[in-house]
Homo-oligomer: A and B are copies of this chain.
Amino acid sequence: MSLDRMIEGIRRTGNPTVAGLDPKLSYIPAYIREAAFAEYGETLEGAAAAILTYNKGLIDALCDVVPAVKPQAAYYEMYGWPGVKTLVETIAYAKEKGMFVITDGKRNDIGTTMEAYATAYLGQTAVGSQMLTAFGGDALTVNGYLGSDGIRPMLKVCQEQDAGMFVLVKTSNPSSGELQDRTIDGKSVYRTMGDNCEEWGKELMGKYGYSGVGAVVGATYPEQLSELRAALPHTYFLVPGYGAQGGGAKDVAGAFDKDGLGAIINSSRGILCAWQKEENCAPEDYAGAARREAIRMKEDITSVL
């Protein structure tokens, strides 16, 4: 019902980071793509097979040093239902290896429809007399534009399944301020949404002082990170924007509490493409390069705590 399992993973590995699995085909070494295309042709199935092989290699290399993965749904949906099947298999594989899985889908809807999303990504789907796992992640990112009607169905499923969510509060992109920085009754929209997270989270309090309702806050806005950390003491932050988007360790320092908890920092491209940036890295060592980058990132971030 909370993010406690994620926090325990962070403590076990001493690493408050999450590896974003955003597997563009161009990130995948040619030998993996070619083997998949040889078997399935240049098809959606072929692309999906290449992604699965690539992801499994990454998960094997990362699972003892990184506590969580964050697959981004868009990069799987792009390859149609075979891509979505690879998402399901990636989630299952990461969980098998003990990782906490945050499915980044930014889902949003109301009532029974939001319940269907919650069931899909965190719960169990009833089919006749069976209860079946559709996706099976541990947490889901959601968008709160529709208000409480879009969040309450999630609270119920999180409670039943010991799962969590991250609500978009202040996103990392340049135009996030167009709406999120505007002021309502003297308070910014992102702060208003953050306060909602504290309120919604009351029903999902965990044992480490944080609830099951986290917030997405971008590394690219360090001032807002610090402001929100002070204002939202029970809300865990999922922080994108480190590395490729320009955020550094100093920028994310303010996201953490005095015990070094309170935030999990995401890196996608930095880890996925490490083999393309490392000097003289053989493509076959892509997962090794990912692991080396993940350890470098862990040291970089923990150095400011």
Contact residues of A with B, CB < 8 Å? 22, 24-25, 33, 37, 42-44, 46-47, 72, 74-75, 77-81, 83-85, 87-88, 106-114, 116-117, 119-121, 125-130, 132-135, 143-150, 168, 171-180, 182-185, 189, 192-193, 196
Contact = CB atoms under 8 A, between A and B. Distances in A.
Given A79-B125, A179-B144, A184-B182, A72 B113 contact: yes
A225 to B, nearest CB: 17
A113 B22 contact: yes
Contacts of A78: 116-117, 119-120, 125, 134
Contacts of A149: 173-176
A192 B179 contact: yes
Contacts of A24: 112
Nearest to A152: B175
B74 A37 contact: no
A249 B293 CA distance: 59
Contacts of A196: 178
A62 B145 CA distance: 33
Given A143-B143, A150-B173, A184-B184, 14 more contacts: A47-B125, A72-B116, A74-B107, A77-B135, A79-B125, A79-B134, A80-B88, A80-B120, A80-B132, A84-B84, A106-B109, A110-B173, A145-B171, A147-B176
Contacts of A148: 175, 178
Contact of A106 (B85, B88, B108): B108
A88 B81 contact: yes
A230 B24 CA distance: 43
A117 B76 CA distance: 9
17 contacts: A42-B130, A43-B132, A44-B132, A47-B127, A77-B135, A78-B116, A78-B125, A79-B125, A80-B134, A81-B87, A108-B108, A143-B143, A145-B179, A146-B176, A147-B177, A147-B178, A183-B185
